[in-house]
Amino acid sequence: MTNVQSTHFDALQTIGINSKKAAASLTGLPTAAKNDAIKSISEALRSKAAIILDANREDLEAGRAAGLSESLLDRLMLDESRIGAIADALIELTAIDDPVGQIVDEWERPNGLRLSTVRVPLGVVGIIYEARPNVTVDAAALCLKTGNAVILRGSSSAIRSNMALVAVIRDAIETVGLPADAVQLVEDTSRETAARLFKMNDVLDVLIPRGSANLIRTVVDQATVPVIETGAGNCHVYISESADKEMAIHIAVNAKTQRPSVCNAAEKILIHQNWPHTAELVQALQWEGVVIHGDEGIIDRADGVLVASDEDWAMEYLDLEVAIKVVSSTEEAISHINTYGTRHSEAIVSNDTAEAAKFQIGVDAAAVYHNASTRFTDGFEFGFGAELGISTQKLHARGPMGLPALTSVKTLIAGSGQCK
Amino acid sequence: MTNVQSTHFDALQTIGINSKKAAASLTGLPTAAKNDAIKSISEALRSKAAIILDANREDLEAGRAAGLSESLLDRLMLDESRIGAIADALIELTAIDDPVGQIVDEWERPNGLRLSTVRVPLGVVGIIYEARPNVTVDAAALCLKTGNAVILRGSSSAIRSNMALVAVIRDAIETVGLPADAVQLVEDTSRETAARLFKMNDVLDVLIPRGSANLIRTVVDQATVPVIETGAGNCHVYISESADKEMAIHIAVNAKTQRPSVCNAAEKILIHQNWPHTAELVQALQWEGVVIHGDEGIIDRADGVLVASDEDWAMEYLDLEVAIKVVSSTEEAISHINTYGTRHSEAIVSNDTAEAAKFQIGVDAAAVYHNASTRFTDGFEFGFGAELGISTQKLHARGPMGLPALTSVKTLIAGSGQCK
């Protein structure tokens, strides 16, 4: 056992050392060289699709034998069309501005020192994720674009697909003269190596978990390296007294039903006690097949509503299910959201701009909407051209993360012999 | 034992709940109200100096009885003049721009959504620190200025001083109508409460350790809440082949000797093999009383040099002691610094701007100097008007941290009924 463990650890140590070397050689690389590498990956994915699909089939067979659910198998599955979509997305990524080298600030001090703060790569980025093999390509390309080396740790159910994809990626970037070790996969998917990865402070500048709430919680609890937490969305739509009837129903139904399984879908609706259209809203949701839980105020005003329990207010259904509550004021709505929300996306529907401003200031969340659906919290919808996930923490990056979230800064100081 | 522990935990839980309430009421507070609170603290410190000094005297007596070193006692000690300096610094803080409410970015999407990203308080900030009671006031004021509630956890050796200071602060801010719980002290200085604080993810938006490398390491290793790491400085001055003799000696001596106990002091000097003034540099350092460790190249070129061991290259002396190494190229200097440095502050002395640019790009550190002393890495020297410490991590804040490091962002989205 000790020998097996130390073998794991040595493999991981080698990955760590090689990552740091690769990161050093990516530093200061021109944007064109990084884009060439990404284009090379895009071409290689298409030309070597057969190899990737063979490996993916083996994962799918093993997954079926192990009794994975149909939805997990679907997330794991690749085909020509999905590989084509991944390859297309890489070409789109090459068109996005490279944040590295951008000057964030420039200034001069009275002693003549000239300072400039510039964006630089983070260094070595760790990504730990589940099932979906498209994340393998996505994460590798986003890290390359920002000059970071990446250590990928996917799940055992996708290991054959990931090994095939990473072999293709490494070969493609080596072809254009970049170090293959810029992209490395942890092939040992045991818990022991994951636990070891969580504590590689000498190697990882950041570790980003992408996947279930459970995975994210484990990483946050166990990691000593810096983590960017991407998380749950218990999002609310608050319909104020002055809300337009049609707009409120449209937004609430869209936010709940347009894609109920995602983190920016609404899970709760709060309605001001004087808004007169609660019954119609409940009906509109029911027509879309939504199961309604409500407090007493809702049960009084509408039919076919289940009694909401205390747990409902904190729950993320991720399904055609919603809990609705009557509140007596905007303050009560804000307080309820700040108590039960997950600081992701919150919306107010209101024709009163002062009230909307109060809500937007008072609600503590990454994105606060006035008269729009919560479903727009997304890197692409925000116009970032790429998305690394949606941060629900407050340090470094909050909300949809574009490429700058994979960068740090460095201050360059030019002097003429200044001493203190 | 179980009872004692659960009592600790309940006290801490109460602090947590009260902090979150206070944070909510600080959100959106106008700058003037926050400045009034800081002025009120400044006045109260002067008017209640006698009470504070009495408590501090008790700490000093207990410290002497416990055998604390003179330097620790000096860091613990307050007198009229030190309290006056702390009170003056608060008035200066009121003049600094309030980052909260600043618009970081504004844009519009093709669907008509108007987005604006604004700076907001982090929420609840935890500070864990050692000995120096001035940090108590400093941290409280910086957090107030940025609209954050703060939980302070100082060391047992300063507990009486801290209790007196926090009582004065709470009273002063309540006088101007702000909640006293915006500033709370953890009075139980046991390891158990510290360990519990490290894991209060529901309360703390960030935990900032200020103090010894040992304290910082403990927090990084044990905390599950987000941490801003402030750390060690194994800073280098690299004297290139083209370096001006007078400037190089001036900078190296200043960086090493001007205040050897601080993190931005130079600990290592690297000299290009063709720079002809090594003996004179060594002599200049020896005149200032610096003990010199050197590699073979230095021992060949200068007198009175001790043999540097492998440990020397990684060591932070924080004293009149330095290790010097001869390198054969700028690449070797960069590689040595990236291997042994702590990513804090690094300098090149060179008359070749292309070489300086290569060094500034290649060296991975928060601040990289060309022809200036490393001693300028400091919030005040950078012109920030305040300093929360120097971050040696890459996420959120890097290098000297000004007030914006205590803020997050929030994106406000204005629509007219947009749905996805």
DSSP A171-231: HHHHHTT--GGGEEE-----HHHHHHHTT-TTT-SEEEEES-HHHHHHHHHH--S-B--B-
On whether both B64 and B196 belong to a single domain, the answer is yes
- The Cα–Cα gap between B168 and A391 comes to 38
**B296-347 pLDDT tens trace:** 999 999 999 999 999 999 999 999 999 999 999 999 999 999 999 999 999 9
Chain A interface includes B412 (CB < 8 A): yes
On whether both A279 and A348 belong to a single domain, the answer is yes
**A327-361 pLDDT tens trace:** 999 999 999 999 999 999 999 999 999 999 999 99
On whether both B106 and B165 belong to a single domain, the answer is yes
On whether both A87 and A213 belong to a single domain, the answer is yes
Contact B381 A109 (CB under 8 A): yes
Block residue for tokens 């002063």: B172
- The Cα–Cα gap between B297 and A58 comes to 59
**B223-265 pLDDT tens trace:** 999 999 887 899 999 999 999 999 999 999 999 999 998 999 9
Nearest chain B alpha carbon to A345: B411
On whether both A55 and A194 belong to a single domain, the answer is yes
Which residues numbered 302-321 in A keep a CB inside 8 Å of some CB on B?
Answer: none
Confidence of residue A219 (pLDDT cuts 50, 70, 90): very high
- For residue B212, give the nearest of B320, B132, B138 by alpha carbon: B132
Residue of B114, B401, B409, B411 best to disrupt the A interface, most CBs of A under 10 A = B411
pLDDT score, position A8: 52
Nearest chain A alpha carbon to B251: A419
pLDDT for residue A17 is more than 90: yes
Task: For residue B346, tell me if it sits in a domain.
Answer: yes
On whether both A262 and A203 belong to a single domain, the answer is no
On whether both A218 and A239 belong to a single domain, the answer is no
Q: Give me the mean pLDDT over the B402-412 stretch.
A: 96
On whether both B254 and B361 belong to a single domain, the answer is yes
Contact B420 A375 (CB under 8 A): yes
The DSSP code for B376 is G
Nearest to B371 among A109, A409, A416 (CB): A416
Nearest chain A alpha carbon to B104: A104
Contact B395 A244 (CB under 8 A): no
Contact A372 B418 (CB under 8 A): yes
Work out the minimum CA distance from B395 to partner chain A, whole angstroms.
6
**A3-17, A397-411, B302-316: which has the minimum mean pLDDT?**
A3-17
Nearest to A410 among B201, B228, B368 (CB): B368
Task: For residue A419, tell me if it sits in a domain.
Answer: no
Block residue for tokens 């006698």: B50
Which residues in chain A are contacts of B260 at CB distance < 8 A? none
Which residues in chain B are contacts of A368 at CB distance < 8 A? 410-413
Which residues in chain A are contacts of B205 at CB distance < 8 A? 393-395
Task: For residue A384, tell me if it sits in a domain.
Answer: no
**B76-95 pLDDT tens trace:** 999 999 999 999 999 999 99
- The Cα–Cα gap between A40 and A419 comes to 48
Which residues in chain A are contacts of B366 at CB distance < 8 A? 410-411
Q: How far is CA A377 from CA A261, A392, A398, B106, in A?
A: 14, 12, 11, 16
pLDDT score, position A2: 41
Work out the minimum CA distance from A335 to partner chain B, whole angstroms.
9
Those residues with Cβ within 8 angstroms of residue A305's Cβ, 6 or more apart along the chain or in another chain:
A282, A292, A293, A294, A298, A299, A324
Confidence of residue A4 (pLDDT cuts 50, 70, 90): very low
- The Cα–Cα gap between B271 and B288 comes to 19
Contact A244 B417 (CB under 8 A): yes
Which residues in chain A are contacts of B206 at CB distance < 8 A? 394-395
Chain A interface includes B156 (CB < 8 A): no
Do the beta carbons of residue A133 and residue A58 sit within 8 Å? no
Contact A412 B228 (CB under 8 A): no
Work out the minimum CA distance from A370 to partner chain B, whole angstroms.
5
pLDDT score, position A7: 54
pLDDT score, position B234: 96
CATH code where residue B224 lies? 3.40.605.10
Which residues numbered 241-300 in B keep a CB inside 8 Å of some CB on A?
Answer: 244, 247, 250-251, 254-255, 258
- Say what the alpha-carbon torsion angle A252, A255, A258, A260 is, to the nearest 10 degrees: -110
Q: Give me the mean pLDDT over the A133-154 stretch.
A: 96
On whether both A73 and A21 belong to a single domain, the answer is yes
Chain B interface includes A409 (CB < 8 A): yes
Nearest to A419 among B206, B250, B362 (CB): B250
Task: For residue A31, tell me if it sits in a domain.
Answer: yes
**E strand spans, A47-144:** 103-108, 114-121, 124-129
Task: For residue B174, tell me if it sits in a domain.
Answer: yes
Q: Give me the mean pLDDT over the B287-304 stretch.
A: 97
Nearest chain B alpha carbon to A206: B395
**B186-235 pLDDT tens trace:** 999 999 999 999 999 999 999 999 888 889 999 999 999 999 988 789 99
Contact A366 B410 (CB under 8 A): yes
- The Cα–Cα gap between A162 and B282 comes to 55
Residue of B20, B334, B408 best to disrupt the A interface, most CBs of A under 10 A = B408
Contact B417 A367 (CB under 8 A): no
Task: For residue A142, tell me if it sits in a domain.
Answer: yes
- The Cα–Cα gap between A316 and A261 comes to 9
User: What was the ipTM of the complex prediction?
Assistant: 0.92
Q: How many helices (H) and strands (E) does chain A have?
A: 14, 16
CATH code where residue B358 lies? 3.40.309.10
Nearest to B224 among A24, A221, A375 (CB): A221
Work out the minimum CA distance from A361 to partner chain B, whole angstroms.
6
On whether both A220 and A293 belong to a single domain, the answer is no
Domain boundaries, position A372:
235-376
Contact A220 B201 (CB under 8 A): yes
pLDDT score, position A230: 84
Length of chain B: 420
Nearest chain B alpha carbon to A416: B371
Chain B interface includes A183 (CB < 8 A): no
pLDDT score, position B328: 98
Those residues with Cβ within 8 angstroms of residue A57's Cβ, 6 or more apart along the chain or in another chain:
none
Task: For residue B382, tell me if it sits in a domain.
Answer: no
Task: For residue A1, tell me if it sits in a domain.
Answer: no
Contact B408 A419 (CB under 8 A): no
pLDDT for residue A6 is more than 70: no
Helices marked H in B66-158 — which ranges?
A: 70-76, 80-94, 134-145
Angle at CA B258, nearest 5°, toward B282 and B380? 140
Do the beta carbons of residue B275 and residue B240 sit within 8 Å? yes
Chain B interface includes A17 (CB < 8 A): no
Nearest to A122 among B24, B360, B394 (CB): B394
Angle at CA A138, nearest 5°, toward B111 and A318? 60
Which residues in chain B are contacts of A394 at CB distance < 8 A? 122-123, 205-206, 226, 408
Nearest to A250 among B113, B370, B417 (CB): B417
On whether both B214 and B254 belong to a single domain, the answer is no
Q: How far is CA A341 from CA A258, A335, A410, in A?
A: 20, 10, 35
Contact A411 B367 (CB under 8 A): yes
pLDDT for residue B1 is more than 70: no
Q: Is B3 helix (H, G, I), strand (E, B) or coil?
A: helix
- State the total domains in chain A: 2
Residue of B199, B222, B225, B395 best to disrupt the A interface, most CBs of A under 10 A = B395
On whether both A271 and A221 belong to a single domain, the answer is no
Tokens of B280: 């004179």
